[in-house]
Amino acid sequence: MGIDGYIDETWSVAKTKNGPTDYILYEKLKDFSLFLSSRDSGGIAANLVKKRRECGGFVGNTAKGLVALGVKPRLIGMFGDGEIDPAFAGLTECDMTSLGAPALCIILEFYDGKIMLAHSDAVQGLTWSGLESAVGREKLAEMVRDSEILALGYWSNMPDFERIIEGLAGLGDSSHELFLDFADIAKRPPGALRSGLEAMRKARALGLKVTISLNIHEANCLAGHFGISSVISQESAASAANATESLKKLTGVDQIAIHAAPYAVSLGESLRIVEAQPIEHPVRSTGAGDMFNAGYIASMAWGLGEKERLEVAMATARSFVGTGSIKCISQNSEMAPEKSWRMLQRRIFPAPRI
């Protein structure tokens, strides 16, 4: 699993603050946006309330979910220069290969969303030749050979990500699956997206089975790239289902998963839809998509079917958003469908390395 590495510093924004514990927060992102837009010019000031400092990004967040589900992946990324940064302490039981100091992301978190301010130079400068040089081609080949799944993110943050996909896929074969999270597709130009899609096709030509995971914003950006006019709605699973077949065909992947707060849709051999009631009082919003990925990747490693993968992925994300943890997932029948969780429990064994 690779190949980024972030430290997330997460803050709330105070509407009023009279002391360290005496404040009123902006609960909704829209309310804070209205506050910002109310100022035409000049300066603006707001008080912050610190929430947490932890590892983030695709590798950090998804690996935390995998470890909590009993899967210990092999990790490549920016975890510390010389020593592993304390923010990654929860992952030290994994096999970690650090490429240097992590990038930093300042997150302003609200109940219904977040603003992410990333300083990504450490990640954006990574190239395939730099990865080969830092890790060694033989060690990379060994790591791929010893794995069944290659899970990579985020394409949007790395200009050389296409070459990295091609390079790692070239070390694999038909026994491997490739899981990709492109993240915010709009952050890179259309030409880069064409190159990313071509890299996926080359991976499939080498025999790897390719799965991509998209949130609603990313799915709409991808649909727009292909000229699909229908809009995928945050509230309508049917709108995602209607677009999924076209996106799978146009991207050429083996499986595509689209996820939102109230539903998830996937298309591999057949169309699968899982819907859920809204979480009234979310505890966490940052990292929900990565936790969906963690549940999905774990289910791939355990050999669950397409419907069960979606159910476990949704259960993992919803448990994280609703409680701030995924440790309680097996006790919560609403968040984890009983049938899927029984299957999951039967299959808990030393999982394949990712």
- Cβ-contact 88, 67 below 8 angstroms: no
Average of pLDDT values for 224-246? 90
Model confidence band, residue 210 (pLDDT cutoffs 50, 70, 90): very high
What percent of the chain is predicted at pLDDT more than 90? 68
The values of phi and psi at residue 54, to 5°, are: -160, 170
Q: Are 98 and 77 in contact (CB under 8 A)?
A: yes
- Residue 354: its pLDDT value, please? 42
Q: Could you give all domains of the chain from N- to C-terminal order, each with its CATH number?
A: 2-8+55-346 (3.40.1190.20)
Per-residue pLDDT at 40 = 77
Per-residue pLDDT tens over the stretch 295-325 = 999 999 988 899 889 988 998 898 888 888 7
> What is the per-residue pLDDT for 103?
95
Give 156-165 pLDDT, tens digit per residue: 999 999 999 9
- Residue 2 reports pLDDT greater than 80: yes
pLDDT digits (tens, 9 = 90+) for 104-139: 999 999 988 899 999 999 999 999 999 999 999 999
Strands (E), the chain: 2-3, 6-19, 22-25, 47-56, 74-77, 95-98, 103-110, 113-119, 149-153, 177-181, 209-215, 255-259, 263-267, 271-275
pLDDT at 338: 43
Region 252-260: mean pLDDT is 96
Task: Count the alpha carbons within 13 Å of 172 in the hemisphere toward its beta carbon.
Answer: 29
C-alpha 92/C-alpha 72 separation (Å) is: 10
Q: Specify the pLDDT at position 330.
A: 47
Question: Does the pLDDT value for residue 37 go beyond 50?
Answer: yes
CA atoms within 13 A on the CB side of 36: 9
Cα-flanking dihedrals φ and ψ of residue 26, to 5°? -75, 115
Say if residue 348's pLDDT is above 80: no
- Per-residue pLDDT, averaged over 71-98, amounts to 93
Average confidence score pLDDT of the chain:
88
Distance CA 352, CA 339 (A): 23
* pLDDT on residue 332: 45
pLDDT of residue 340: 52
By the 8 A CB rule, do 298 and 71 touch? yes
Average pLDDT over residues 270-288: 86
Residue 189 pLDDT grade (very low, low, confident, very high; cuts 50, 70, 90): confident
Question: For residue 131, how many other CB atoms are within 10 A of its CB?
Answer: 22
The closest of 337, 338, 331, 343 to 305, measured between CA atoms, is 343
Question: How far, in Å, are 131, 198, 232, 243, 292 from residue 216 at the CA level?
Answer: 31, 22, 7, 11, 13
Q: Does pTM top 0.85 for this prediction? A: yes
